[in-house]
C-alpha cells in the first residue's frame, strides 16, 4: 500500500471510530450533568461531541506525515486530546452500569480514571527507559562467543512525540552499556522525511566492538526510506537488506543476517541466509518471519514492530511479570509473537517492546526498553 492510500484509510477509520466512540460518552456527560445544568447539559454534550469529532483533523490527520511542531502544540493540545481519546474507551465501559443506575456518573468516573491512567502513560511512562537483560541459549555456539552481548534497539519512531533530544539521552545510556554488537531493527521514524537528518545524526552516535547494524521497518517507508538508509550507510552503520555478514572472534564466527521490510513485500528471508551455516542471528523488524526462519535453521531472531501493544497488563504495577504483559496487551490478537521470548525447534525469537510510540503517544504497562541479549551455549 502506498503512503497516500494508507493515509486515506487512516482518515476514514479514525473519523468513523471517533464519531461512534464519542456518542455514548456525550450522552453520559449530558445525563451526568443534567441535575446541575438542566437542559444546558445536553447542549454542552453536543458541543463536546462536535469538537471531539473535528479535533482529529488538526491533531492526527494534520500530522501525517510527521514533521517538527512546537512543544506547546504537542504537549498542550495533541497529547491531551489523544489521552482524552483513549480515556473515552474506558468511559464507554461505564455505559452499562450507568444505564442500570439511571445516570451517567459511572461512565464519567471510568473516563476520569482513564484520563489519569493514560495521562501518566503519555507524560511519564513514555519518557522512561529500562534496560532489560535476556540470556538466549544457542545450540552449537562457539566457545569464543560465550556471553556475547548484543544490544537490541527497535521502534525508535523519532519524531514529534518521541523527540530527537529524548532519543539522544536514551542513546547516551546505550553507549554506557557497551556491548559487542548494537543492532537496530527498524521503524527509525514514524512517517515522512522531516526527521531523517536527526535519525542519521543519532545513529552515528552508537558504538560497539563489532559495529552497529540496522534493518528497515515498515514506517521507514512511509517516506523516502531508500534515501534514509543510504544516508545511514554512509554514516558508517551497516544496513542489512536481505543480506548477511560474518562476525569473527577467536578463530570462530557467527553470522548476522538482516531482512528488509515485510509490510512493503521487500522481505526475503531465504536470500538473507543463503549459503550460511552454523549460528545465525537474524535481524527482522516484524517477528512474522520467525516460522520461516526456523525452517531455514536460524538460531536467533531479534525483532520488534509490536511495541508490546503499548498498553498492557500489568499496567505498570510493581512486581508484575513480563508474562502477564506478554499475554494481555493490545497487540496480542493481531500478532502471534507480541512480546518476549519464543522458542521453536532450537530457535529463539526475542521480541522487544521498543522505545518510541506510534498512533497514540501512550505507554501503559510497556515501558520503553533496550534489550541486552547475551548468547550462551545450550
The per-residue pLDDT string of the chain (378 residues; one tens digit each, 9 = 90 and over) reads 566 676 777 788 888 999 888 888 888 778 777 777 877 888 888 888 898 888 888 888 888 889 999 999 999 999 999 999 999 988 888 766 665 565 667 778 888 999 999 999 999 999 999 999 999 999 999 999 999 999 999 999 999 999 999 999 999 999 999 899 999 999 999 999 999 999 999 999 999 999 999 999 999 999 999 999 999 999 999 999 999 999 999 899 999 999 999 988 999 999 999 999 999 999 999 999 999 999 999 999 999 999 988 988 665 444 445 555 555 666 766 778 988 899 999 999 999 999 999 889 999 988 999 999 999 998
Looking at the fold, whether 171 and 99 belong to one and the same domain comes out as no
User: Are 166 and 293 found together in one domain?
Assistant: yes
Residues 116 and 136 in one domain: no
Domain boundary among 104, 123, 142: 123
Which residue bears the cell 507480541?
A: 338
**H-type alpha helices, the chain:** 3-37, 40-54, 56-59, 71-73, 79-93, 95-101, 105-123, 164-177, 196-203, 225-234, 269-273, 290-295, 322-327
Number of domains in the chain: 2
- Please check whether residues 115 and 136 belong to one and the same domain: no
Could you tell me if 173 and 47 lie in one domain?
no
Q: Which residues contact 3 (CB under 8 A, 6 or more apart)?
A: 65, 191, 222, 223
Domain co-membership, 189 together with 77? no
Bridge partners, 213 (sequence order): 183, 238
Is the whole-model pTM more than 0.75?
yes
Q: Give the residue numbers spanning the domain of 40.
A: 3-123
**Cell numbers standing for residue 308:** 508490546
Amino acid at each position: 500500500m502506498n503512503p497516500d492510500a494508507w493515509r486515506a484509510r487512516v482518515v476514514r477509520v479514525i473519523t468513523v471510530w471517533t464519531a461512534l466512540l464519542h456518542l455514548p460518552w456525550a450522552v453520559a456527560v449530558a445525563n451526568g450533568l443534567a441535575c446541575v445544568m438542566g437542559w444546558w447539559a445536553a447542549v454542552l454534550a453536543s458541543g463536546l461531541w462536535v469538537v471531539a469529532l473535528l479535533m482529529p483533523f488538526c491533531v492526527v490527520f494534520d500530522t501525517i506525515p510527521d514533521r517538527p511542531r512546537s512543544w506547546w502544540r504537542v504537549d498542550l493540545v495533541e497529547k491531551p486530546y489523544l489521552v482524552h481519546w483513549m480515556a473515552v474507551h474506558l468511559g464507554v465501559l461505564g455505559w452499562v452500569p450507568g444505564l442500570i443506575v439511571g445516570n451517567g456518573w459511572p461512565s464519567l468516573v471510568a473516563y476520569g480514571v482513564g484520563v489519569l491512567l493514560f495521562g501518566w502513560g503519555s507524560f511519564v511512562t513514555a519518557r522512561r527507559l529500562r534496560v532489560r537483560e535476556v540470556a538466549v541459549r544457542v545450540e552449537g555456539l562457539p566457545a569464543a562467543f560465550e556471553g556475547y552481548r548484543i544490544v537490541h534497539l527497535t521502534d525508535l519512531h523519532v519524531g514529534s512525540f518521541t523527540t530527537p533530544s529524548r532519543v539522544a539521552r536514551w542513546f547516551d545510556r546505550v553507549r554506557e552499556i557497551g556491548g559487542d554488537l548494537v543492532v537496530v531493527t527498524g521503524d527509525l521514524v514514524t512517517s515522512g522525511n522531516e526527521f531523517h537528518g536527526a535519525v542519521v545524526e543519532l545513529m552515528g552516535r552508537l558504538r560497539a566492538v563489532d559495529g552497529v547494524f540496522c534493518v528497515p521497518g515498515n514506517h521507514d517507508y512511509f517516506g523516502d526510506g531508500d534515501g534514509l538508509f543510504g544516508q545511514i550507510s554512509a554514516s558508517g552503520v551497516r544496513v542489512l537488506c536481505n543480506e548477511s555478514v560474518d562476525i569473527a572472534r577467536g578463530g570462530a564466527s557467527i553470522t548476522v543476517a538482516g531482512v528488509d521490510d515485510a509490510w512493503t513485500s521487500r522481505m526475503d528471508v531465504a536470500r538473507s541466509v543463503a549459503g550460511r551455516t552454523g549460528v545465525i542471528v537474524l535481524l527482522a523488524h516484524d517477528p512474522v518471519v520467525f516460522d520461516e526462519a526456523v525452517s531455514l535453521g536460524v538460531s536467533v531472531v531479534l525483532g520488534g514492530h509490536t511495541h508490546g501493544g503499548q498498553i498492557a497488563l500489568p499496567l505498570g504495577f510493581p512486581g508484575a511479570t513480563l508474562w502477564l504483559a506478554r499475554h494481555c496487551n493490545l497487540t496480542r490478537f493481531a500478532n502471534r509473537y507480541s512480546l518476549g521470548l519464543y522458542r521453536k525447534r532450537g530457535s529463539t525469537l526475542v521480541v522487544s517492546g521498543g522505545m518510541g510510540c506510534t498512533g497514540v503517544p501512550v505507554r501503559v504497562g510497556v515501558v520503553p526498553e533496550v534489550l541486552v541479549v547475551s548468547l550462551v551455549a545450550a
